[in-house]
């Protein structure tokens, strides 16, 4: 487990970054991502992948808000009904710590 390497990061032509990584999820979370993909596909009127659903979900939350200028902040958050997880809201630092613990197998 100590042979971890940093995920590769690439700049995309649209000015964003692309990071490839492997995430281990319970099947229930995969199902919720599938539901999110279904909602996104209906909204976009085309099929979408789970990758697109995850990217859309991350963009629609305030997780990366600290890295954006204040003028780029969205005016409103997604309603709780569109959430992938039904868990109560936790501070981003706590979410990150728990995700790292799960990835490292120490949770």
What's the longest Cα–Cα distance across the chain?
43
Q: 55 is written with which tokens?
A: 């990217």
13: left (phi over 0), alpha (psi -120 to 50) or beta: alpha
Q: What percent of the chain has pLDDT over 90?
A: 11
Mean pLDDT in residue range 75-96:
59
Give the residue, 80 or 54, on which the prediction is more confident: 54
Q: Judge whether 84 and 28 are in contact, CB under 8 Å.
A: no
Torsion angles phi and psi, residue 55, rounded to 5? -60, -45
Kindly indicate the confidence band of residue 80, based on its pLDDT and cuts at 50, 70 and 90.
Answer: very low
Kindly indicate the confidence band of residue 5, based on its pLDDT and cuts at 50, 70 and 90.
Answer: confident
pTM of the model: 0.47
């Amino acid at each position: 487990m100590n042979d971890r390497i940093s995920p590769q990061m690439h700049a995309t032509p649209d000015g964003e970054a692309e990071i490839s990584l492997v995430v281990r999820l319970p099947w229930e979370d995969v199902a919720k991502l599938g539901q999110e993909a279904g909602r996104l596909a209906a909204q976009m009127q085309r099929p979408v992948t789970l990758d697109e659903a995850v990217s859309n979900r991350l963009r629609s939350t305030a997780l990366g808000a600290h890295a954006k200028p204040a003028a780029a902040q969205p005016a409103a958050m997604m309603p709780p009904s569109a959430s992938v997880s039904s868990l109560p809201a936790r501070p981003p630092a706590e979410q990150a710590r728990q995700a790292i613990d799960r990835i490292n197998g120490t949770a």
